[in-house]
Amino acid sequence: MENKANVQYDEDSIKSLDWKEHIRLRPGMYIGKLGDGSSIDDGIYVLVKEIVDNSIDEHMMGNGKTIEIKISEHRVEVRDYGRGIPLGKVVDCVSKINTGGKYDSGAFQKSVGLNGVGTKAVNALSNYFKVQSFREGKSKMAEFQQGVLLNESKEEQTNQRNGTHMAFEPDGLIFKNFRYIPQYLNNMIWNYCYLNAGLTINFNGQKYISQNGLLDLLQSKSDAETLRYPIVHLKGEDIEFAMTHGNQYGEEYYSFVNGQYTTQGGTHLTAFREAVVRAVREHFGKDYAPEDIRSSIIAAIAIRVQEPVFESQTKTKLGSNTITPDPNSTTIRTFVNDFIKERLDNYLHMNPESRDALKKRIEQSERERKELAGIKKLANDRAKKANLHNKKLRDCRLHMTDLKNESRYETTLFITEGDSASGSITKSRNIQTQAVFSLRGKPLNCFGLNKKIVYENEEFNLLQHALDIENGIENLRFNRIVIATDADVDGMHIRLLLMTFFLQFFPDLVRNGHLYVLETPLFRVRNKKETIYCYSQDEKQAAIDKLGSKPEITRFKGLGEISPDEFGKFIGEDMHLEPVILQKETSILKLLTYFMGKNTPERQRFIIDNLKVEKNIEELAIAV
């Protein structure tokens, strides 16, 4: 082993990287985690947003009412009809750090991107990147590969409308085996429309438009039959919010800053949650507990501020404390609180039926909380004792709550059943970021039961403590919760029972993209020279054709059948995960009633029609 004391440290040790080399060497500094597209915060979606955000900023400044987006398997194209990049700066705007229109506060007010990095990051991380500007009857185009300029056209005459066209293909050397998931893209496009009422986005031939902003958003996210009162929708200068209460557990929020979906909240969401409590207490003249006021709330808040400060380049959490760069300006907390205090109070006075329904919902939550108090204390005591002696949770060394470490986004909890399966995963996992929770047999079908069962059932109680989600997902200890069950009927049943548990009691965990299903190979095809793992019948046949002769074929039905050495290949960099995605129009109540309620003729017919082959069994278990 080389003696570290003898390592040379001189002028040759100091390296200078140009902008594109630095982005490619440290992509996480610019786009967060890379991923393969199975998670909504994976890098390939950040690339899309960085380009679309520029077009949205043009629209916000009153330039262009339509944006055209085309996304195929590996290519993204965005065409807006704004002002177009000044032709003399087309190349600089996408290839020189600290160059861009966002530095001119007169040209872009209250935009998302302010540091001139986003588009350059897309350019550097793309195997192909094209930018073309149309401006006042002329156009200019430039093409790049991995940030290197390949082709630059001269200014040419054009009859195209003003605007910008960008196209890129993410670099497969950086984003390995990536794929765009249609549901994630669909949700992204809708959010842009909800935040920009009247904007038309043509996405892959389909027209997206919202006329009522956050009101439309909440209507799309909630089941009208379960709402306690009509959605409250109020707008002011640089602020808009919508809220109602339902019957679900937990709190459900959608927060935005300058059109950016802040999935991790920030100062504006904290201010909103405080403001609702304060406004309700003052309106009713009662010192309700905050958790009773906010229990079962469904709300969306959007604000616009000048030069927002986000806690990372991916802009998922707002860190700004004021609504302008001036530190003496109004704080976001005061701005949000004053608006909600006045407008929500007025609304409740003018809508007595909604006022009474809100009061009943709060008092119901208060009764339920007090009824659970004794049970929760006993359950928490049992969980603490159990943690000292049982081995249900093989923890990892890093957690989501370690906010200083970017690797927290890679933390994973595998939920599996049986000693052999949990043993294989435990031995082959990355102990730094991967943990294992072992179930004992099939979990209870909790559909239709109240939250009391979460504390009374030992498995559920220990699972919620392992995740630290008893009081919501703010302290969630793992970014990905992965259901890892056998590829047979019993395994699929356990998968559905676990999904029911999360959807019933912790739906925001699913909505925020934390729940996944692990795909492991169904077959191993090998000869003396090569081994191929196959995830489908088609892949198995292709492997047989490739290896020729008569290769050895193994069918994996149980996770315990896969040796730890092999298992390590399936939960590493090339891990196959299927995200559990709630469709825009999905009603959780109707979904669970259909799949997990009483055995209806409709479900019997569905099973007969759809469970004839193994492939359909797998699709059913993730089709929520």
Q: Is 407 part of any domain?
A: yes
Q: Which of 148, 181, 209 is the endpoint of a domain?
A: 209
Q: Which domain holds residue 357?
A: 214-365
* Structural domain includes residue 230: yes
Co-location of 183 and 296 in the same domain: no
CA distance 214 to 563: 50
602 domain-assigned: yes
Selected residue with higher pLDDT from 592 and 623: 592
Task: State whether 458 and 579 are in the same domain.
Answer: yes
In a domain, 381, yes or no: no
Neighbours of 154 (CB within 10 A): 9
Let me know whether 313 and 165 are in one domain: no
Q: Per-residue pLDDT averaged across 213-218, rounded?
A: 93
What is the pLDDT confidence band of residue 619, given thresholds at 50, 70 and 90? very low
149 and 276 in a common domain: no
As a whole-number percent, the residues of the chain with pLDDT over 70 amount to: 85
More reliable by pLDDT, 23 or 144 = 144
Angle between helix 352-389 and 267-284 (nearest 10): 120
CATH number of the domain at 606, please.
Answer: 3.40.50.670
Q: Is 144 exposed, middle or buried (0-12, 13-18, 19+ CB in 10 A)?
A: buried
pLDDT value for 358: 96
Q: Range with the lowest mean pLDDT among 15-29, 183-197, 244-258, 364-378?
A: 15-29
Quick one: pLDDT at residue 623? Answer: 44
What is the reported pLDDT for 400? 67
pLDDT of 405 reads 59
Do 34 and 146 belong together in one domain? Answer: yes
The predicted structure's pLDDT at residue 221? 84
Same domain for 564 and 442: yes
- Residues 77 and 142 grouped into a single domain: yes
Q: Are 527 and 506 in contact (CB under 8 A)?
A: no
For position 1, what pLDDT does the model report? 46
Please list, in sequence order, all residues whose beta carbon lies within 8 angstroms of the beta carbon of residue 16, skipping any fewer than 6 positions away: none
DSSP code string of 399-459: -TT-TT-GGGGG-EEEEEESHHHHHHHHHHS-TTTEEEEEE-SPPP--TT--THHHHHSHH
Q: 488-532: per-residue pLDDT in tens? A: 788 888 999 999 999 889 988 888 889 999 988 888 899 988 999
pLDDT of residue 624: 43
Any domain includes 441: yes
> Is residue 14 scored above 50 in pLDDT?
no
Residue 271: name the closest of 297, 303, 243, 248 by CA: 303
With a cut of 90, say whether residue 385 has pLDDT above it.
no
Q: What integer is the mean pLDDT of 140-148? A: 94
**316 and 229 belong to one structural domain:** yes
Among 95-109, 241-255, 478-492, name the one with the lowest average pLDDT. 95-109
Indicate which CATH number applies to the domain containing 141: 3.30.565.10
Give the CATH number, domain containing residue 226: 3.30.230.10
Whether residues 307 and 405 share a domain: the answer is no
- Residue entry with tokens 């559920």: 460
pLDDT at 572 (0 to 100) = 84
Q: What is the mean pLDDT of the chain?
A: 83
The token pair at 232 is 């409250």
The answer, yes or no, to whether residue 19 has pLDDT greater than 60, is yes
Q: Judge whether 428 lies within some domain.
A: yes
Q: What is the pLDDT of residue 374?
A: 81
Residues 97-107 have a mean pLDDT of 45
544 located within any domain: no
Domain count, the chain: 3
Q: What is the pLDDT of residues 546-558, one digit of tens each?
A: 998 889 998 887 7
Q: CA 409 → CA 32, 328, 398, 436, 595, distances in Å?
A: 9, 35, 10, 17, 32
Q: State which of 180, 209, 238 marks the end of a domain.
A: 209
* Residues 204 and 236 placed together within one structural domain of the fold: no
pLDDT of 501 reads: 92
pLDDT at 344: 95
Question: Of 193, 209, 225, at which residue does a domain stop?
Answer: 209
Q: What is the pLDDT of residue 241?
A: 93
Q: Are residues 397 and 253 in the same domain?
A: no
Express as a percent the part of the chain with pLDDT over 90: 38
pLDDT at 471: 80
Of residues 330 and 174, more confidently modeled: 174
| Same structural domain, 202 and 337 | no
The tens digit of pLDDT for each residue in 267-325 reads 889 899 999 999 999 999 999 999 999 999 999 999 888 777 766 655 667 766 776 66
Residue 7 lies inside a defined structural domain of this protein = no
